[in-house]
Structure 1
Amino acid sequence: MKKIKLGCPNPECPNHKKNAKLKHNLTNCPICGSSLVHVCKNKKCHTLVEDDDKLYCVLCNADREDKKVVAAKGAAFGGAGLIGAGIKYRHAIKDVIVTLIKR
């Protein structure tokens, strides 16, 4: 089961102002008494999430997907660079390995 985060929707409440994520077993805010709503799991975001199956709001989820794509591209580029260096210096690498084996 996913751990959804609950937050106070009342803009005047101190829990809403400090973006507090409250315990899952609570139904009302302990300070103002308003009913708690499902909010985004991101620490800096306090957006209401309509779908109970999702942990993040639409904007935070899009940011997370963008970061995954950038990380995958960076890993692919870095790996290609290592392969290119291996091809360029294969004779030198081979000589080093041979000398290490002979010892």
Structure 2
Amino acid sequence: MSWRGPALILVLVAALYVVARPWLLETFGAATLVLVVVGASMIVSIAVAWWQARNRRYTCPACAHVFGASMLRNLTSQNWFGRLRTRCPSCGERSWCDTASDRADPAET
């Protein structure tokens, strides 16, 4: 996954917030705005962790074991550009696990 998409979305959302902030504060009030932003952040975080738990597999750098991570593990572990800092269920080593490739190995075909 490229970093450009999320970075562009972040810039656009920040620009929209800066432009619309005075109107939002006047219309809804500061407390309501804070609750909406926190609630939306929680919903997006849970949705991304759920998606990652269903669609991503990780490879342990120590033993090359391919495994999936639960939604809770995706939500609470450190994630950094497709890498997850977690413990391998096979060898037990804690390290940065890369996203496993979904493509078939060309040697197998």
In our comparison, the structure showing a higher alpha carbon Rg is 1
TM (normalized to structure 2)? 0.32
Bigger proportion of residues as strand: 2
Bigger proportion of residues as helix: 2
TM (normalized to structure 1)? 0.34
